[in-house]
Structure formats: C-alpha cells, structure tokens
Structure 1
Amino acid sequence: MTEHRIYTTSFAKVYPLYVTKAEKKGHRKAEVDEIIRWLTGYSQEELDAHLEKETDFETFFSEAPQLNPSRSLIKGVICGVRVEDIEEPIMQEIRYLDKLIDELAKGKKMEKILRK
C-alpha cells in the first residue's frame, strides 16, 4: 500500500480549508462540524480535542468511534476518482469527507448530505 502524504498531514491543518470552503458559499462552521461528526461518530468535544492535538488524518479516521454505516451511500467523483471505487480504507474515508464538504459548498441540503 502506498503511504500517501495526506495520511500524515494534521487534520487541524486541513480543517480550516473545509470551513473556509463552506463559509464562502454561505454555510457555517457548525455545518462542517455536523458533517464530520455524522461521518466519524466523534462528539464535538472529541472533534475539538483532535483539532487541538493536531491528529493526523490516518489516526483521526482509524480512531473514529463509529464510522457511519450510511457513508457507503456516498457516491460520485472527487479529485477525478469515484469515491466508491477507492480501495484504500483511510483514503476512502478522507475522500468521503471531501465529497460531503463539496456537496455542502454546492448548496445541497443537509438532510441529503447526511443521507437521511
């Protein structure tokens, strides 16, 4: 398995980019946090702790309390690759998150983003 640089990148370094992307399109940080909590099962306090500790992406996803089973419903292309076809588990989780943030920025309703 190829070790991707993103695996060792601090989640806290990329998180502000997610928030900025959402805010540029009129959304709030709270919506970004809701998406992350839905995907990973982290509480807000746990999410904040990982941001403060500057946990890397690999650890952030491998320690997630409960990856949402509905995440398999996330389909589509991100960075030119279909998220449902990614074979590396951690990379797929990262791309699922990227896709959800893209959907928020594109104005999709939260109930659809969270696959309700």
Structure 2
Amino acid sequence: MKDTSHHDARIAEMTFASVYPHYVTKVEKKGRTEEELLKVIEWLCGYQAEQVQELIEEKATFKAFFEAATLNPNASLIKGVICGYRVEEITNPLTQQVRYLDKLVDELAKGKKMEKVLRTI
C-alpha cells in the first residue's frame, strides 16, 4: 500500500493526546494495564510516564512527539500489518514511527507476552 502525502500530513498534525485515551481503552479492554502501555511507550520512545503526561498536557503533535523521542534501536524489528499498512514498507519516517507505536499497542492488546512486544526475545 502506498503512503500519500495527505495521509502523512494528517498523522503529523494529529495530537498524541487525542489518540492516547484510545490506546488505554484498547489495552484495558483486553485485560492489560496502562502501566504496560507506558512501558511500551518507554521502550519505543524513551519517555518516562511523567514525560508522557507532559506531552499529553502540551497537546504535542505526533511530529513533536517523535522529534523529541529517542527511538529504540530495535524499532526496525517491528514488522507486520497495522491499519492496512505493512510497517516495514512505510516510506515516510514519521508515519512509520507512529505505526510502530500502533503495532506495539495492538500486540499488547492481543495478549502477547511483554518480552515479545518489546523485542527482547
């Protein structure tokens, strides 16, 4: 599937605060916790829980969210399809990073072991 510039621009300007509650709802519906979600965000982006809260309060866009992040060097191990896109084939770096996060949240919600979600085994 090809990325479009319109799609990429829309993702860049979307606020993390507008999506985070959906992440929480998704994982909690499946018996996971917000703490586990925060652990996933910390692994991918390097943010502690307090920093995530600050970014939510600031209404940081995904562009700002990922510009300030320290992406995990193992992020490229995240593979698969999310939202109709194969994450390893996405050409726009920001869109790919957002989809990495979406994929990790999806795996967490699907009950994968944390070690597998965080690519430690």
Structure 2 match to 1:90? 94
In the alignment, structure 1 residue 60 sits paired with structure 2 residue 52: no
CA deviation profile, 1:90-112 (whole Å, cap 9, x unmatched): 00000000000000111100010
Correspondent of 1:11 among 7, 16, 22: 16
TM (norm. structure 1) is 0.95
C-alpha contact 2:81 2:87 (8 A) present in aligned 1: yes
Listed as ranges, the gaps of 5+ residues in structure 2 are none
Cα RMSD of the aligned pairs, angstroms, is 1.1
SS of residue matched to 2:41: helix
Cα distance in 2 between the residues matched to 1:51 and 1:81 = 26
Percent of residue pairs bearing the same amino acid type: 56
Structure 2 match to 1:103? 107
Cα distance in 1 between the residues matched to 2:107 and 2:67 = 24
Cα distance in 1 between the residues matched to 2:99 and 2:116 = 17
SS of residue matched to 1:37: helix
C-alpha contact 2:38 2:48 (8 A) present in aligned 1: no
TM (norm. structure 2) is 0.91
Aligned runs of 1:8-87 on 2, under 5 Å?
A: 8-64=13-69, 66-87=70-91
C-alpha contact 2:11 2:62 (8 A) present in aligned 1: yes
SS of residue matched to 1:46: helix
Cα distance in 1 between the residues matched to 2:14 and 2:104 = 19
Listed as ranges, the gaps of 5+ residues in structure 1 are none
Report the CA distance between 1:18 and its aligned residue.
0.3
